[in-house]
Structure 1
């Protein structure tokens, strides 16, 4: 099969196989891909990991190459193509919202163990494991009795680079802005325009993917960083006093570094996480960024939040918790 020719080979070991399946694009963003690859990175020392994705970009290929084996799937046949690769002895990890219950059953009927990353609200899951790496006061999905559930910051979706020792240097005045790797709604530009309009006096650092639109007129006022590696994002979060982010994986990673966060949401699947963060005073909330005119973003507010004592969660045992959870699942074969 053509798929075998695309497999990027690492040294193979006799560990239990885990197949990770997540995509990224300008339409769906990079969140599913990044968080699932982060889980693979935490498990690769104990398992034989392979990552499957549709039509990966150069950036995705570079990130996967650092972690484990990978293979590209055809856009039109990805669902069936992936099923055909399964032998029944794999742990399968899926991360997206388009998979149906019938697709879940097809994987389970092959004898595989099935893990779902980021389960959706108002859906029932009869799978082997759910991973929900964000805190949630009110779980809005249901599960079968047999289904294991691991959730909260104890199982946060953060990349290995964020496990490094806490920064103890004095932070610089300035902001880090990131509204996702794709940002088809151009919300990054909306935030930046507001910061320029209020004449924010400090450095404005922007993390963006290749497809993120930023008006050229804003370039004199910002520092723009394209397709940063995780280690470079850690450096920015450690260097500055405030971040304006989307309520997604990037906010989890920012909180792990202790930088104060102002965040909002722009997708339905971000709302529950956003509400939990606001209710616990982990962030300063902007609500729905699509509808918000951002009048509350003033220099006074930005200065106040940047000086606020911020919530920071412990990352030291996250990797081991993931390893233990997947080893427990592997023992059920």
Structure 2
């Protein structure tokens, strides 16, 4: 089985599309092995940062590059994939229609704000309903909606929390692979002035495309906090296992933290995370924090105290909603449909 993914990952748009595509690709490989069916995956992208290109190759997948957003479909035709998967906020039915009817097509989306033409559409948002997408889709498109399909790597299932910390001692900070709004730097600047933060051992993972790496290094060396700074850690599950709580964006890592059951201060940092913020608020999955408050010392001191008091609520609600098997469900369902 040959699968081709069309997505991009840059400093501007972040790495979330790439990371969830890698998760889904691994699930297809795993489900294929159960059926004694070999699965190969190719990632068709605009030029990736070197570290991200190496990450794809390290997973055993191949890359194919284009210099256009609306990429030429000739390489796709040449590859003759059994399935094309598109995960890109800037692509819609105008490009997808060139493939629809020629190759089975799965679209990943979170926004429900533009037309699509596909055989399947996946939106892992737990509050999504068919009516959100009906105006935007061809009538025969099958919908895979909700937390049941959340794309989580299996290692996160292995580190699920089964009890709450008596004291919040270990704090994990990560705002994704790119952090285009400089949230990590803003937060660290604020925490450096919070007395309660000095009682906590912090670990910060700055993604491969984080623009503030040098400034973060300097601040970590001079601040009054006990803090470790890590550059692009591929083993985020181990960090979540170590941590008593997290502070991070309301993007794709939301579902990983939910699967683990890690109490979190969740910060929507870009507009396309607003729906996730609604989900977090509706199901009480985490304590929401506004981006503008990241360097507000009074607010930070108060929310750190509140997080400890509600850790059990957040852990229970999160693990009840996200079980971590979504990627395997998607892969199994599509392999069954195709073969």
- The answer to whether TM tops 0.5 is yes
Deviation, 1:83, is 4.0
2-structure distance, mates of 1:174, 1:145: 49
Are 2:57 and 1:65 aligned?
A: yes
Tell whether the 8 Å contact from 2:17 to 2:88 is kept in structure 1 after alignment: yes
| 1:203-214 matches, cutoff 5 A | 203-210=201-208, 211-213=210-212, 214=215
1-structure distance, mates of 2:86, 2:162: 37
> What SS does structure 2 have at the residue aligned with 1:312?
helix
2-structure distance, mates of 1:137, 1:78: 28
Q: Closer, same or farther in 2 for the Cα pair 1:79/1:205, shift >3 Å? A: same
2-structure distance, mates of 1:80, 1:245: 33
2-structure distance, mates of 1:277, 1:316: 17
1-structure distance, mates of 2:270, 2:154: 26
**Which one of the candidate residues 271, 274, 291 is aligned to 2:274?**
271
> What SS does structure 1 have at the residue aligned with 2:99?
helix
1-structure distance, mates of 2:128, 2:76: 38
1:301 aligns with 303
Q: Closer, same or farther in 2 for the Cα pair 1:72/1:124, shift >3 Å? A: closer
Tell whether the 8 Å contact from 1:187 to 1:290 is kept in structure 2 after alignment: no
> What SS does structure 1 have at the residue aligned with 2:100?
helix
Deviation, 1:325, is 1.9
> What SS does structure 2 have at the residue aligned with 1:259?
coil
Structure 1, unpaired ranges of 5+? 1-15
2-structure distance, mates of 1:273, 1:315: 17
Deviations 1:220-277 (A, max 9, x none): 4321111101xx3112111121111100111211111111011121222110111111
1-structure distance, mates of 2:112, 2:180: 24
Are 2:267 and 1:259 aligned?
A: no
Deviations 1:167-213 (A, max 9, x none): 56885612111112111221111111111111312112111124341
1-structure distance, mates of 2:110, 2:282: 21
Structure 2, unpaired ranges of 5+? 33-38
Q: Answer with 152-161 or 275-284: which moved more.
A: 152-161
TM-score scaled by length of structure 1: 0.84
1-structure distance, mates of 2:45, 2:110: 19
Tell whether the 8 Å contact from 2:151 to 2:324 is kept in structure 1 after alignment: no
Equivalent residue pairs, number? 311
1:325 aligns with 333
Are 2:139 and 1:145 aligned?
A: yes
Are 2:14 and 1:29 aligned?
A: yes
| 1:1-333 matches, cutoff 5 A | 16-45=1-30, 46=32, 47-74=39-66, 76-77=67-68, 79-87=70-78, 89-109=81-101, 111-137=102-128, 140-142=132-134, 143-167=137-161, 173-199=169-195, 200-201=197-198, 202-210=200-208, 211-213=210-212, 214-215=215-216, 216-219=218-221, 220=223, 221=225, 222-229=227-234, 232-287=235-290, 289-290=291-292, 294=296, 297-307=299-309, 308-309=311-312, 310=315, 311-313=318-320, 314-315=322-323, 317-331=325-339
> What SS does structure 2 have at the residue aligned with 1:35?
helix
Q: Closer, same or farther in 2 for the Cα pair 1:62/1:303, shift >3 Å? A: farther
User: Whose helix proportion is higher, 1 or 2?
Assistant: 2
Deviations 1:73-112 (A, max 9, x none): 03x2464444433255531101111113221111115x10
Tell whether the 8 Å contact from 2:151 to 2:325 is kept in structure 1 after alignment: no
Deviation, 1:25, is 1.1
2-structure distance, mates of 1:21, 1:156: 19
> What SS does structure 2 have at the residue aligned with 1:19?
strand
Tell whether the 8 Å contact from 1:119 to 1:141 is kept in structure 2 after alignment: no
Deviation, 1:19, is 0.6
Tell whether the 8 Å contact from 2:152 to 2:324 is kept in structure 1 after alignment: no
> What SS does structure 1 have at the residue aligned with 2:256?
helix
1-structure distance, mates of 2:257, 2:324: 15
